[in-house]
């Protein structure tokens, strides 16, 4: 890291291709989570998947903060990302068996990635500055958390659950305490990085659609009409998820971050990005489980466990966006929350409906909700005299 160039905090930059390369390694890990829940759609494995996702989020979000401090186009930074990407491969491979015999194989690479990100963060701040002191104070308890995580990988049963939960709590406490520190945050880069991880999660939805195509073709069955409709409907669902985030949410959060300065900007980034994007990304993963099952068996009713997982995914996705909107502008995503309520009722009463038509109806609910939101935010708000710039960013 000698000779590392750190731009002024007011200077923004875009994500380097190596950061996207690092994100793509998480496609493998997310795919393992989807596979786990497709095979075992029960409470036990939902709980396991939730803890594993939170653990996966730790190194990803830490590297995002670290790379926000320095440009990724420097060779030393790129080398760090490449090493972290290599470490993510065994970590992703061990996702499905992390609570069985692969605890150490999962925990050690994860800790290595996290500690590399901490090293980059500390190195990016000059010794003797407030930023350096903040980075060191933040890093020390997180190093302890990684030790707890690795130890948990070598024990069995409830002890592993407990130690990994402790590691998550330590990091969470550290991020809360860090809100009083001296942090720099570049809004453009931060918005782009979180947009990329949303794309990675949505990529798993596309992979889920692909499985619906491959299975009947490999069995020599060809395409039934219900399969074609299911693929179109699930593709539309993926498009609605993309639009729900990138059309208004992403630019609105970035716009709000640009309006803030100093510690308030850092706290906003922690709340609206690091915290609020946990339910957004995990929601997409759960939605992928429901869509994959619907694409695989379009002519059959979607079983209760998959309907519950699908509803949980929609709730988390919309809930995360709503939290971000509230944190940024103190507004409610009314139409989106209402859409979740309608979908919940529909999934409860439509148990005998074929999976393909279930997804079609959910698509219609999502599209209607977005249409009403557009009218309220960008037509009514403008007609009432609200500034056009604000009207396009309020949610």
Nearest to 324 by CA among 226, 384, 242, 250: 250
The pLDDT mean for the chain works out to: 87
Please give the pLDDT value at position 120: 87
pLDDT number for residue 222:
61
The model carries a pTM of: 0.90
The sign one gets for the Cα dihedral 368, 372, 373, 374 is positive
Mean pLDDT, residues 268-272: 93
> How many other CB atoms are found less than 10 A from the CB of residue 33?
25
List, for residues 224-245, the tens digit of each pLDDT value.
788 888 888 988 999 999 999 9
The neighbouring-strand residues paired with 301 are: 354
pLDDT in tens, 81-118: 899 999 999 999 999 999 988 899 999 999 999 999 99
Question: pLDDT grade, residue 386 (50/70/90)?
Answer: very low
Mean pLDDT for the stretch of residues 330-341: 94
Mean pLDDT of 169-177: 93
SS3 392: coil
Nearest Cα residue to 286 out of 18, 3, 10, 53: 53
Q: How many helices (H) and strands (E) does the chain have?
A: 16, 0
Percent of the chain with pLDDT over 70: 88
* pLDDT tens-digit readout, 273-315: 999 999 999 999 999 999 989 888 888 999 999 999 999 999 9
Rg (C-alpha) for the chain, rounded Å, is: 22
Backbone angles phi, psi at 14, to 5 degrees: -90, 165
Q: What is the mean pLDDT of residues 5-21?
A: 74
Structure tokens at 19: 């950061």
Domains for the chain: give ranges and CATH numbers.
Answer: 17-180 (no CATH), 187-391 (1.20.1410)
The reported pLDDT for the residue numbered 8 is 58
């Amino acid at each position: 890291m000698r000779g590392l160039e750190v731009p002024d905090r007011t200077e923004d930059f875009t994500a380097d291709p190596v950061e996207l390369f690092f994100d793509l390694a998480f496609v493998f890990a997310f795919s393992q989570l989807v596979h786990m829940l497709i095979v075992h759609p029960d409470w036990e494995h939902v709980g396991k998947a939730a803890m594993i996702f939170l653990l996966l989020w730790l190194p990803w979000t830490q590297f995002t903060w670290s790379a926000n401090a320095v440009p990724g186009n420097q060779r030393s930074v790129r080398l760090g990302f490449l090493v972290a990407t290599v470490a993510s491969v065994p970590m992703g491979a061990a996702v499905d068996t992390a609570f069985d015999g692969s605890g150490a194989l999962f925990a050690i690479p994860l800790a290595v990635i996290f500690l590399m990100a901490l090293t980059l963060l500390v190195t990016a701040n000059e010794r003797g500055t407030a930023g350096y002191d903040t980075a060191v104070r933040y890093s020390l308890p997180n190093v302890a958390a990684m030790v707890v995580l690795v130890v948990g990988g070598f024990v069995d049963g409830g002890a592993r659950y407990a130690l990994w939960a402790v590691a998550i709590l330590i990091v969470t406490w550290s991020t809360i305490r860090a809100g009083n520190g001296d942090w720099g945050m570049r809004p453009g880069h931060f918005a782009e990085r979180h947009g990329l991880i949303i794309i990675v999660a949505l990529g798993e939805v596309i992979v889920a659609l692909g499985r619906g195509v491959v299975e009947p073709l490999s069995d020599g069955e060809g395409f039934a009409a219900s399969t074609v409709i299911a693929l179109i409907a699930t593709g539309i669902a993926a498009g609605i998820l993309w639009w729900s985030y990138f059309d208004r949410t992403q630019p609105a959060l970035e716009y709000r971050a640009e309006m803030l300065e100093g510690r308030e900007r850092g706290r906003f980034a922690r709340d609206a990005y690091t915290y609020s994007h946990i339910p957004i990304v995990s929601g997409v993963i759960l939605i992928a489980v429901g869509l994959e099952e619907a694409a695989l068996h379009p002519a059959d009713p979607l079983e209760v466990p998959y309907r519950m997982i699908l509803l949980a995914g929609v709730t988390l996705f919309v809930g995360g966006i709503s939290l971000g909107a509230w944190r940024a502008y103190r507004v409610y995503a009314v139409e989106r929350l209402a859409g979740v309520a309608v979908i919940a009722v529909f999934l409860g009463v439509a148990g005998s409906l074929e999976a393909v038509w279930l997804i079609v109806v959910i698509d219609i609910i999502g599209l209607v909700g977005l249409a009403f939101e557009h009218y309220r935010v960008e037509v009514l708000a403008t007609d009432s005299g609200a500034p056009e710039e604000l009207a396009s960013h309020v949610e």
